[in-house]
């Protein structure tokens, strides 16, 4: 297993930030980082370029940190609510996912990737929860999440549907028979009256 030293040109999740020097597997660098423009090899030329840009990189890191602190304050003031289909006792059909939380946060006007949202446990019941959002290095925002149960009407099972259809047909037949019997009785009464005259 050979490894190589690289200099990151952009922030890479779970690896490092722009300007960091890292040791990674050769295949990861050759097949992913270099073709996507995320890193360059650790050569003398690239080291000199990195040293010249060191001040600029430090300013960018400070700006990212300040922006993350501002975003943390804004997010912690917000409350997210999601309505999810559930059963009678508040148990959800499925669970609340990072993607659903991301969509709700985007509706509030914030652009946060679903990979930065951390759930401590699977959300399977309605109620109030805390969601952690990793914003930058050690800065995380704790956001209140309210899961609202959207109770759906129970669907009739097949037996009940068949029974209702059978009862409806039986009622129709019974009504037809009683109408026919009434007509025959009226005809018989009319014949009796005619014969009595």
Is 181 within a domain? no
Same domain for 99 and 126, yes or no, is: yes
CATH of the domain at 25: 3.40.5.10
The gap between the terminal CA atoms of the chain, to the nearest Å, is 119
Query: 3-state DSSP: the chain helix, strand, coil percent, rounded to 5?
Result: 50, 30, 25
pLDDT in tens, 116-158: 888 888 888 888 999 999 888 888 899 999 998 887 665 556 7
CATH code (residue 112): 3.10.430.100
Tell me: do 92 and 139 sit in the same domain.
Answer: yes
Q: pLDDT for 2-38, tens place per residue?
A: 899 999 998 888 888 888 999 999 999 999 999 999 9
Q: Which domain holds residue 113?
A: 74-151
Domain end, chosen from 15, 48, 68, is at 68
Same domain, 83 and 47: no
Same domain for 13 and 63: yes
Whether 94 and 135 map to the same domain: the answer is: yes
Q: Is 94 left (phi over 0), alpha (psi -120 to 50) or beta?
A: left
Does residue 178 form part of some domain?
no
Q: Answer yes or no: pTM beyond 0.75.
A: no
Provide the number of structural domains found in the chain.
2
Measured between alpha carbons, how far is residue 118 from residues 115, 125, 144, 154 in Å?
Answer: 8, 17, 13, 33
């Amino acid at each position: 297993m050979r490894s190589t030293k690289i200099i990151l040109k952009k922030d890479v999740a779970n690896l490092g930030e722009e300007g960091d020097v890292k040791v990674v597997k050769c295949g990861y660098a050759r097949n992913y980082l270099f073709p996507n423009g995320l890193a360059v090899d650790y050569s003398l030329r690239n080291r000199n370029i990195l040293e010249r840009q060191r001040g600029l990189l430090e300013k960018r890191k400070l700006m990212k940190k300040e922006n993350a602190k501002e975003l943390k304050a804004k997010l912690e003031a917000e409350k997210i609510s999601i309505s999810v289909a559930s059963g009678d006792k508040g148990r959800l059909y499925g669970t609340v996912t990072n993607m659903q939380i991301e969509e709700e946060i985007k509706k509030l006007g914030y652009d946060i990737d679903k990979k930065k949202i951390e759930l401590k446990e699977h959300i399977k019941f309605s109620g109030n929860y805390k969601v952690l959002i990793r914003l930058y290095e050690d800065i995380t925002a704790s956001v209140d999440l309210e899961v609202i149960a959207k109770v759906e009407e129970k669907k009739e099972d097949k037996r009940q549907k068949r029974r209702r259809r059978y009862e409806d047909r039986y009622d129709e037949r019974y009504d037809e028979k009683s109408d026919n019997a009434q007509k025959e009785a009226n005809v018989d009464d009319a014949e009796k009256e005619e014969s009595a005259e």
